[in-house]
Structure 1
């Protein structure tokens, strides 16, 4: 007697094995390196010069990275759920983030600088989105997407400070910006290929590119609006993938 009754079980087992293989995941790590016009960013002490020739120092530099997606070889995108990170130059650990993704070959990565509208109106949150991190205005104005503070002799502020708190998630001045970066990313657990990407973020781009920002004219942004939006249009170009290696 042939064990035909085992065939359905074998079929189900094969399907389960195939599903497990398809759903196999690995780890991707991103290391952020903040610079100013190519020079490593150093808080509080180093002097830099913007595109208008105005010197400045930086005391605070933070930005949200969220809604990460991987771009497949056919140009379709794979959204990675629950990816909300706050990169803070003063906290070394925050500049190294990681997430799980299905194994495969990818041609690039995309993400938002800032926090999407849904999370802006979702009430009190925890982790990177906790208001205790100092990146939240109010339930009406929402999150500060990116923050730069410092000082400049050219500052229009009476105390010569620079305060750029960039936010706004509504209407024509939505400061949530999309970033798309192209670079081969190979994630293969069996071959021990767990990619580590280095993303360089250049603060110099905040004040030049699409819109030239002069500290002598504008040294303070505290609310959503046209100026915040103009700076966000500039800094969406600040990221470059400068290295990809396997852990």
Structure 2
């Protein structure tokens, strides 16, 4: 009887010890930087000065390039997801502002990740301005709002081009959702080129190439001669939005 009691007592101690270990286990967190590299034919773009040619043989320059990145999610090989806090998950990338092209995400759960998912623009749940007090001033300062009622511009792409008659003509492409009738928000998932390891002591970078010429030459081909000003446009803006969703590619990781 004493022997049985001793065995039971020992088992209870082991169980209690394991329970205490579980209770004292705490999650750890690190950081990651998303480095967006806007390119044309893998070369970095130069605003105003450089000239480019699209597949419609239109020669153009770029005076402004801005877009909204949102709703970042990191995904492990087993499918487990880490969702970056939504109220901190809206960012503006502005080609003219170097620092804006590197987005630092803190408090990422440590572990190994093989995919990343993010949105281009603002999803309908936050449309037009709900629950985004931290981001609204940034959008206003960068003229990425149509109005308080119309909502956000997801991508602003402007410049000039040489028309077929030889004239130099301005172009303007502003893509966003238009109320609930036309949802141009795109969410994309990228395979990472290698495993992203998040640790407490390191801050790895994911280099994401953004192929700007796909605005014209993605799944849909767009000629500026056909339409050189696109804003609230139910015909052309969904096609450009589809092209935008095809611009991004994760090319390297520095762990």
**TM-score, scaled relative to structure 1:** 0.86
Aligned Cα root-mean-square deviation (Å):
2.8
Q: CA deviation at 1:17?
A: 2.5
- Provide the rounded CA distance (Å) in 1 between the counterparts of 2:63 and 2:131: 27
Matches within 5 A, 1:158-237: 160-168=169-177, 170=179, 173-183=182-192, 184-189=194-199, 192-237=201-246
C-alpha distance in structure 2 between counterparts of 1:111 and 1:55, whole Å = 31
Q: CA deviation at 1:32?
A: 0.8
Tell me, yes or no, if structure 1 residue 240 matches structure 2 residue 249.
yes
Query: For the residues of structure 2 that align with 1:133 and 1:169, how far apart are their CA atoms?
Result: 19
Deviation at 1:225, TM superposition (A): 2.1
**Whose Rg is larger?**
2
Q: Which residue in 1 is equivalent to 2:156?
A: 147
Counterparts of 1:76 and 1:198 in 2: how far apart (Å)?
Answer: 22
Deviation at 1:124, TM superposition (A): 8.5
Measured after TM superposition, the shift of residue 189 of structure 1 is: 2.2
Shift in Å, 1:234: 0.7
Aligned-partner Cα distance in 2 for 1:155–1:67:
41
Q: Name 2:96's counterpart in structure 1.
A: 90
Secondary structure (helix, strand or coil) at the match of 1:173 reads: coil
Going from structure 1 to structure 2, the CA distance change for 1:169 and 1:244 (only over 3 Å counts) comes to: farther
Say which SS state the counterpart of residue 14 (structure 1) adopts: helix
Q: Which whole-Å CA distance do the structure 1 matches of 2:164 and 2:116 have between them?
A: 37
Residue 107 of structure 1 corresponds to 114
Query: What does residue 66 of structure 1 align with?
Result: 70
Runs of 4+ in 1 over 6 A off after TM superposition: 6-9
Alignment partner of 1:79 out of 65, 83, 97: 83
- Give 1:133 deviation, angstroms: 2.1
Instruction: Report the alpha carbon displacement of residue 8 of structure 1 after superposing the two structures with TM.
Output: 9.8
CA contact (8 A) 1:186 1:193 kept: no
- Asked if residue 120 in structure 1 is aligned to residue 123 in structure 2, the reply is no
- The answer as to whether partners of 1:187 and 1:193 remain within 8 angstroms in 2 is no
CA contact (8 A) 1:185 1:195 kept: no
Indicate how the Cα distance of structure 1 residues 109 and 188 shifts in structure 2: closer, same or farther if over 3 A, else same. Answer: closer
1:39 and 2:29 are equivalent in the alignment: no
TM-score, reference length from structure 2:
0.84
Q: Report the Cα distance in structure 1 between the residues aligned to 2:149 and 2:80, rounded to whole angstroms.
A: 34
Kindly indicate whether the alpha-carbon contact (under 8 Å) linking 1:105 and 1:186 is maintained by their aligned counterparts in 2: yes
Cα displacement (A) at 1:170: 4.8
Which runs of no fewer than 5 residues in structure 1 stay unpaired?
none
SS in 2 for 1:226: coil
The answer as to whether partners of 2:70 and 2:91 remain within 8 angstroms in 1 is yes
Q: Deviations over 1:107-139 (max 9, x none)?
A: 110100101122223358544432222100123
- Rounded to whole Å, the distance in 2 between the matches of 1:103 and 1:115 is 27
